[in-house]
Structure 1
């Protein structure tokens, strides 16, 4: 199912904000630090660790702020340093560490997984599907794409036991961070094909695209195949997880739900993709961007 995708520049993964997950500060009060900001004008504090989250207040240059813990977020070049670190303040919002004078040793904020969403039935089938937040689109930055994909991938793990890290890596690779025509136009983030002109239980239709198929010897050629189209991004994530769970050729993977690297190796062996380097590419993504941190302990 591997699509012929362009390569995109990968950027550090970001941590979801309190709007998507519940942040629980593991630090004791003694771990808090009083810092000052260095900024030209004012610094925007936000309700998440990136500039596209809602601004909560403004902080003046040299103003003192109490910070309690740190998260990984949008990489910024500030007046003090270049960093992806964001500091959570005592009142619960976030400021970029790129504008913080000094470098206090802060503990990492502990992120609790969101509560399972209620279930609902998709319009095209009678079978219930767990509802997930609005998913990724083809117009997002890499950071936004990852942030939007995490809730859907974690919901899929609750429903199917497919590791979140595997789902995220496959979505990134198969869709080119959401920018492939298949994902941008048809919300298909996993290269899921139609078989016998049927879109299956969760997709809305089929669409023909050129794609690359490879032999076991690694010889690749261009062909045309029909791929599934989805009414929502959530349906694409649901269909992906259910396919891995229900198709017998992937059954061996579920002996390794706590070992994402071996899980995807078994999925590859089951015939998910013809690219001989498919497992290597996904493990590299999971390792380089520490996608394992989003796996749930079920």
Structure 2
């Protein structure tokens, strides 16, 4: 046997003919594995059976623990203590961990086998089919679920400041969140659902077949408590924008039914102020779509979708009411009477604020019946 033949036989066997196919030997790096370090700060890192947050947990790793990574695959994005990444690392025992929690200086090779557990990168949704929203949570991570309910299984969790891609909105479980209290859930591009109570987003359309009619609920406070809660925001509205506090409170009583309306209970919107092309100003926290009945000047009524502002507090709604009147030129004549509540609301009504011919009488009757004038402290 010649020298060249002996050298060929001594080399590692890389390719074997097998039934017409090829069997690839692993790369040297993949065979030996790459040593890396877990960085989770506090809670243990979960090892999963598949490269996904929904994969079965098969173990945990502590902070600073060394691991041997064989190769990497693509899976759902994870925001970790090291990075945000779609990479998942396969360990020497076959388990997977999110690369978002791993540090190391060596390059991790891609898994060369077509493992059924490896997940290809999904195509990016077409622009215009979704709207970007931002999660705002003072309560920790927010769950993205398989359905619009707090009882639905969790697909993943997202933290404060994370952006999500909302497609449309549906009604689901009522949630008290950091942005608002609402029954709206936003369907995301991956099919998951996140409560609108934690998301600041442009107006979302209704999901096909869905209704966002506000729930009819009973207020948790009495009229006396409503008045007490109204004073601070109403007086701040006068100081900032010049609308008499008595007028603001009376309008809130009439337009929200002492806080009984769906808008006020779900979105803290006491005056029915709408969003304009997705814009909600500086005092509101977002927009909420509702199916409403509206009527034309000719008296023809029809069903439509309207987008209303949502507020973090009652006071924000009251202050935005003052801002709304101040910035609309049609109401400017009223601001000649910022210290005369009756003349102020007369001019607001005459400028077309309400079509009800008895609106002025209703407002002044409320101001007199509940002595709302006592809240007009001109300072």
Say which structure is richer in strand. Answer: 2
Structure exhibiting the larger radius of gyration computed from Cα positions: 2
TM, length-normalised to structure 1:
0.50
